[in-house]
Amino acid sequence: MAAISAALVIVLTKAGLKNVDSNLAFAVQSVFIFCITWSIVTIQGNLSGIKEIENKAWVLLILAGLATTFSTLFSFKALSIGPASYVSTIERSSLVIAIILSVIFLKEKITWQLVTGAVLIIAGAILIALSEPGK
């Protein structure tokens, strides 16, 4: 479901950016993100859990929120000037960076399958980036 949602975000955002500033578009979407997520938290009865979040978790969640904001702002700007298929390919190559950071900071195990997948992602991103649109 996450992959389908992410694909829809790329296509719908690209279509919606036709005559709209990319930062304004993200601000509009952010209002919906805020309202929907806090509604879900409230409906599920998890709102009281906010008091139980530890300081370290707060710092990490805030940093992740900042990274999410900048990532989305950069993605929207790229979508406003480039083809969605190219932008999403380059953006999704962040998976390789996530793998590297996960191995370094989260001490996740590196396997040959993980390395092979990362190499294929990089190769695919390069292939698409170097191709000419529509050919």
pLDDT of residue 92: 86
Q: Give the pLDDT band of residue 128 (cuts 50, 70, 90).
A: confident
CA neighbours closer than 13 Å in the CB half-sphere of residue 69: 12
| Predicted confidence (pLDDT) per residue in 36-88, tens digit | 999 999 999 999 999 999 999 999 999 999 999 999 999 999 999 988 988 88
Q: Nearest CA to 90 among 126, 133, 117, 120?
A: 126
| Predicted confidence (pLDDT) per residue in 11-45, tens digit | 999 999 999 999 999 999 999 999 999 999 999 99
